[in-house]
Amino acid sequence: MKYVFANWKMYLNLEQSRELAEQLIDISCDNSQMTGVVFPNTLFFQDVSERLKNTAWRAGAQSVSWTPQGAYTGAVSAHLFAESGAEYALVGHSERRYIFGETNDDVRKKLESCINEKLIPVLCVGETKEDRDAHKVEYRIKKQLLKACEGLDLDTSRIMIAYEPVWAIGTGDACDPEEAMRMISLIKAEMMAYTDAVVPVLYGGSVDQNNVVLYLSSTHIDGVLVGSASARIDSLRALMGAVSTYCSK
């Protein structure tokens, strides 16, 4: 099974989100070979998830609040997303960590709330350019995994990981597939300390129609998390075309 996750971030307004969701339905996504999940902006989540109901596509939350229900102004909890049809949730995306100041502690609480609400968390981990220059890549990844997963019961709940080097996101400077594969195999080995279950690990960072198959065909890489190339119909169609050709081989 390969996974193609489309993170629309805050690229689209309501009309554009509706239009892209509508067009997605015609794009082939063979459920026996691949799982396609769209992460629309929170404000349009309900709209897009309704539109994708009974199609091959699933919907996920870009970010959830760890707070439950009640007096939490501005928060949208994992519980509310689950109620609105979300099956997945991104947790710890680097834009949340580095732009909005989410800490490892926040990430951990969000992970727990997703698990409690039966959302499949997609835990995003990745090093910055500074980490890489300081030879701290493995240290950073291991620390992010430890802070998120230590002591959690992951044997009975599903979790996925996305390896997203921060320097590769939105830059066009995608990580070399060999290096992505090395990091993902390290993540899988590391996750064996936390669970006996199989944990799918995706690669994310400047994935497009030209490089997607390089990642999908690499051992250990179970799929891709795509940002900007998933938010325009021409590039999304081309990307999914490449994925379908690869999956049907």
Residues with catalytic function: 93, 164
The minimum distance between CB 119 and ligand PGA, in angstroms, equals 18
Which parts of this chain interact with ligand PGA (CB under 6 A)? 7, 164, 169-170, 204-207, 225-229
The gap between the terminal CA atoms of the chain, to the nearest Å, is 13
- Judge contact between 39 and 5, C-beta under 8 A: yes
Q: Least distance from C-beta 210 to ligand PGA, angstroms?
A: 13
Which residue number places its CB atom closest to ligand PGA? 227
| Amino acid in the structure at residue 207 | V
Nearest approach in angstroms of CB 94 to ligand PGA is 7
Q: Which is nearer to ligand PGA, 111 or 225 (CB)?
A: 225
Using the minimum distance from each CB to ligand PGA, give the nearer residue, 183 or 226: 226
Q: How far is the CB of 204 from ligand PGA (least distance, A)?
A: 4
Angle, in degrees to the nearest 10, between helices 14-24 and 233-247: 30
**Which is closer to ligand PGA, CB of 8 or CB of 79?**
8
Q: Which is nearer to ligand PGA, 34 or 92 (CB)?
A: 92
Nearer to ligand PGA by C-beta: 120 or 169? 169
